């Protein structure tokens, strides 16, 4: 089990009410829901960072070798035995 740390957070009443309803509907504790929500946010943030890094690499590759032709039609023809 990973190490856990305690954190006290003040949230708007509307947010607390939402979390309480969600926890109750899913038969979970509010702590469980907060962990899930936080992990989802963290994963989304990491995904966005990775997408930005990929865009940088693509631009570098484009600068080195130019724009590559679209290979979709070639692959389709190979799959259908036209080549």
pLDDT tens per residue, the chain (83 residues)? Answer: 589 999 999 999 999 999 999 999 999 999 999 999 999 999 999 999 999 999 999 899 888 888 888 889 889 999 998 76
d(CA 32, CA 14): 18
pTM over 0.85, yes/no? no
DSSP for 10-36, written as a single string: ---HHHHHHHHHHHHHTT--HHHHHHH
């Amino acid at each position: 089990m990973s190490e856990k740390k305690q954190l006290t957070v003040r949230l708007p009443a509307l947010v607390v009410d939402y979390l309480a309803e969600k926890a109750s509907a899913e038969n979970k504790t509010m702590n469980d829901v907060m962990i899930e929500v936080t992990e989802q946010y963290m994963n989304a943030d990491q995904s966005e960072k990775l997408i930005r890094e990929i865009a940088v690499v693509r631009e570098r590759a484009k600068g080195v070798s130019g724009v590559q032709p679209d290979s979709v039609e070639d692959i389709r023809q190979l799959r259908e035995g036209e080549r």
